[in-house]
Homo-oligomer: A and B are copies of this chain.
């Protein structure tokens, strides 16, 4: 039996076991696909799950996404495959056809690839090794883009990828220092991602310069503090977005793009802004920004016949008595 319990049952094993139970992240006997890059976080995760496997009865497998970003990408994939063999776990690999140019495109390709593997081999759950450190970094990254609370929450414990497959991040309250320590103790051979050292990537700069600076000069626990804040904001945004969606439903005209001002006037500013964003999202060719939203919010109490400058695509919003209407550019919404 490959998956006999490890005799080194660490506090991190106990912690993950408790997290999975309390948050109901994984079920017993579930088909679990572990996304493994070969870095410390994903190696720590797969080893922990292997050790917990006898208690839970999961069917585990490893998936590796080869972005073909670096010269050592194939060697990296080979390394992960050998680890999978050593653990006698099924191994699946996807290799990018074209080298993606942005982190966002790479992320999209990665989740699509993982979903394809899960669908093909009937895994109901994909787990990734994202940590509290990733959560803190994402918070800082989005904060500097100025996206409000909605951008300040990002990494969640779980979310559905398809109707049948969910994404789970069981290490979201574990720091990168803890996964590194675990890998050392368990003598796992980490594949050092050389792009991590390239400070032209904003995210690596946050990881290697900004967070250490914040820890040194402001708060040794800055990573945890930021990660906790992300968790709190997550719940706030979920609630606010749901409230706004319900109100948009009530305020929206049944037949044409328009909003009832009386209903909006009774809402709090926090909801007005979200209603306007959700409303504009349906009408504009691109995501509405802070300025667009504030312009539309100001129409809620503006005098009759007030109107906005054109939004991207040329659409204009104007007030007619109790309603805010959208008017596509020159009677044609295909103009730019």
- Chain A residues proximal to chain B, CB less than 8 Å: 143-149, 152, 202, 205, 209-210, 213-214, 217-219, 221-222, 224-226, 228-229, 232-233, 235-236, 238-240, 242, 268-271, 273, 290
A208 to chain B, nearest CB (A): 12
A273 CB contact (under 8 Å) in B144, B226, B235, B268 = B235
The answer to whether A268 touches B238, judged by C-beta atoms less than 8 angstroms apart, is yes
Given contacts A148-B229, A148-B232, A148-B233, 14 further A-B contacts (CB under 8 A): A143-B143, A144-B219, A145-B219, A146-B219, A149-B149, A149-B233, A152-B152, A205-B218, A232-B290, A236-B236, A236-B270, A239-B268, A239-B269, A239-B271
The answer to whether B218 touches A202, judged by C-beta atoms less than 8 angstroms apart, is yes
The answer to whether B228 touches A269, judged by C-beta atoms less than 8 angstroms apart, is no
The answer to whether B149 touches A290, judged by C-beta atoms less than 8 angstroms apart, is no
Nearest-CB residue, chain B, relative to A298:
B22
User: What's the Cα separation between A145 and B219 when bound, in Å?
Assistant: 7
A250 to chain B, nearest CB (A): 17
User: What's the Cα separation between A144 and B222 when bound, in Å?
Assistant: 6
Which residues of the partner chain B approach A145 to less than 8 Å between Cβ atoms?
219, 225
A217 to chain B, nearest CB (A): 6
Which residues of the partner chain B approach A148 to less than 8 Å between Cβ atoms?
228-229, 232-233
Which residues of the partner chain B approach A229 to less than 8 Å between Cβ atoms?
143, 146-149, 152
Which residues of the partner chain B approach A271 to less than 8 Å between Cβ atoms?
239
Q: 16 A-B contacts, Cβ less than 8 Å apart?
A: A143-B226, A143-B229, A144-B225, A145-B219, A145-B225, A146-B222, A148-B232, A148-B233, A235-B269, A235-B273, A236-B270, A238-B270, A239-B240, A239-B270, A239-B271, A240-B240
User: What's the Cα separation between A224 and B222 when bound, in Å?
Assistant: 23
The answer to whether A144 touches B226, judged by C-beta atoms less than 8 angstroms apart, is yes
A212 to chain B, nearest CB (A): 12
User: What's the Cα separation between A295 and B294 when bound, in Å?
Assistant: 38
User: What's the Cα separation between A225 and B144 when bound, in Å?
Assistant: 6
Of A152, A209, A217, A270, most buried by chain B (CB within 10 Å of CB) is A270
Known: A239-B268, A240-B236, A269-B239. A221 touches B146 (CB 8 A): yes
A218 CB contact (under 8 Å) in B144, B147, B228, B232 = B144
